[in-house]
Amino acid sequence: MEGLSSLGINVPTLIAQIVNVVILFVLLRLVAYKPIMRMLDE
């Protein structure tokens, strides 16, 4: 962990950002990707 800190990377912030990106990806897939693909299939 000291290696990341020496690079200026805050580990708790990094973990929070990864979780946020995963949540965003799941929401976009449910809200945008599936309905758009359904419309294109019709």
Q: Please name the amino acid found at residue 16.
A: A
Within-domain flag for 11: no
Instruction: Please check whether residue 40 lies inside any domain of the structure.
Output: yes
Taking CA atoms, 24 is separated from 2, 9, 21, 37, in Å, by: 29, 22, 5, 18
Domain count, the chain: 1
| Domain span including residue 25 | 16-42
Residue 9 lies in a domain: no
| Average pLDDT of every residue of the chain | 90
pLDDT digits (tens, 9 = 90+) for 10-30: 999 999 999 999 999 999 998
Q: Does 32 reside within a domain? A: yes
Strand ranges for the chain from DSSP E = none
Is 6 inside any structural domain?
A: no
Is pLDDT above 80 for 2? no
